[in-house]
Amino acid sequence: MPIRILVGFFINQNEKQTMKTKLSASAYPARRLLLLSCLAASTLLHTLPSLAAEKPVTGKAGQPKLLVVLVVDGLPQEQVVRYRDQFGQGGFRRLLDQGAWFSDAHQAHGITVTAVGHSAVLTGAYPYQHGIIGNNWIDPVTLKSVYCTEDTTNTYIGEETKASDGTSPANLRVSTLGDELRYATGERSKVVTVSGKDRGAILLAGKMGTAYMYMGKTGNFASSTYYMKSHPQWVQQYLAGKPQDRFYGKEWRPLLADSAYAGDASDELVINPKEPEKRFPFSYTSKSGKPDSEYYEKLPLSPYLDELTLDFARAAVEGEKLGQNPAGVPDVLGVSLSSHDYVNHKFGPESRMSHDHLQRLDRLLSNFLNYLDKRVGLDNTMVVLTADHGFPNVPEFSQSIKRDAQRLDGKKMLENLNKYLSDKFGQAELASKWSNPHILLNYALIDQKGLKRQEVELAAAKFLQTEPGIADSFTRTQFENGQLPRTRLGTLVQRAWNKQRSGDVMVVTKPYSYFSTEAHGTSHGSPYTYDTNVPLVMMGKPWFKPGAYGQYAEVMDIAPTLSHLLRVRPPSGSEGRVLTEILR
């Protein structure tokens, strides 16, 4: 009997027999011998190159040569779906068609902002563990504002550095996939990240990688002294070419025919009436008549910053020889593309500007994937694409389709709360600070006046629930004692609260409302699906089965899945699951 038939016959017969009854003691030795013989034949079968089902991977022990992690800042899943038919063949569509794509993937925590979302991607952890609870927060002890990646002991290399600038991952409390890979390979694997925002690069790089970020004043990409004393030669050569200057005098005009944008919101709904010039075509110049800080600071609100970011990523692949590691171990390239977030903040995801920007980003990704295919080979490369958060529509658009949407004033809300608490407890300023979405209570004053902390917390929470645009509020006592409701909302906000860094009362806005100091545009940060539902695609033929997957997934699942495939320890705070349904 041929080996393949013999193996199949035995397995089928054995499965049938197992379902009926256990093996008898007398039958066990003979069956055991037959099983071992068939398993040996099966093993031999799988070692024969002529019978291999998949093209063999050229990386060491079936591992990739390069892992590329792409994070599109501020990209909601619905935009990918809505504009899919207009994408070219090589960018988003290539990823969706050739990769494993989850339609129900989420940034599954309650504060959906850039720093928190980027921290999730390669840690697999929630904020209550990784410690990055926002882009900024108030230190409960000093009452000073803290920026997520600030570190006053380090500076940018060759660039002006302010005290609150992002220069290191000092505030990140857990390891990343890159950290674990570097540890497992004796630091032979290289981990390089680049972004238009410091937090986008630093929080992907982790503690042991190397981050480069865009400098708004000069248009350069720079690292910091946390990573090195001076830039390597390839970076110096890249900067000497001044690639950021090539967009001076260019205009950003719609890429597609006018009919392609017919379903978008009218400009009148999304453009600030005080800035009527902020519409197509956008011009990139400066008053000086030459590239300067005014010009460089305009580039984030354009397709050009993403083009520069991907250009720098190519330079990193060449300069660091990523994917060609002489030790035969995988390298990691993290690329965070920042411009879509700037465009969506300014005009909303329903705007022509956002629509066109995504089409242009699609073409940029196509070129970059083609480059990787030629340089490293996509069969040697794992590609992951996701986003740090989604986006709501601008309130004016939401109101036009009969949604209850508004911008909220956090400062005014704090004033109202303090007046209420003063009237109730006879003491002013019991609430000391507002840091969206947290309120810090003055516990020292509460204790001094002989008040009970829990009573003040509860009174504050109940009052805040009566404020316009507020759906719910939760107290420190509830968080510490696990007393939040067992709902999706309760789970997401519990994950977002960190005992040492978060405030004493957390508020949740009603859907489509958000806190803002601006009178136009939109913002994100809520636990609602328009902010949490983001793309999650993993592509790499030797490892992933292509297809559209409807199973629930989280961005936190990326790190444990990659750890499994790379055969390294999962990051220290990882709580996601291995996405076994997509694995070959």
The DSSP string of 128-155 is HHH---SSEEE-TTT--EEETTB-TT--
- Say how far apart CA 442 and CA 510 lie, in whole Å: 27
| C-alpha triplet 546, 550, 555: angle, nearest 5° | 80
Helix (H) or strand (E) holding 309, with range, is helix 304-320
Asked whether 195 and 214 are in contact (CB, 8 A), the reply is: yes
- Full 3-state SS string of 549-561: EEEEEEHHHHHHH
Per the annotation, the verdict on 114 as an active-site residue is yes
Residue 358: exposed, middle, or buried by beta-carbon count in 10 A (0-12, 13-18, 19+)?
A: buried
Read off the DSSP letter of residue 435: E
- Say how far apart CA 133 and CA 438 lie, in whole Å: 10
Q: What is the dihedral of CA 160, 163, 165, 171, to 10 degrees?
A: 140
Helix (H) or strand (E) holding 562, with range, is helix 558-566
- Say how far apart CA 211 and CA 194 lie, in whole Å: 6
Write down the catalytic residue from 18, 47, 112, 114.
Answer: 114
Q: Could you tell me how many helices (H) and strands (E) the chain has, helices first?
A: 22, 19
**Active site residue ranges:** 114
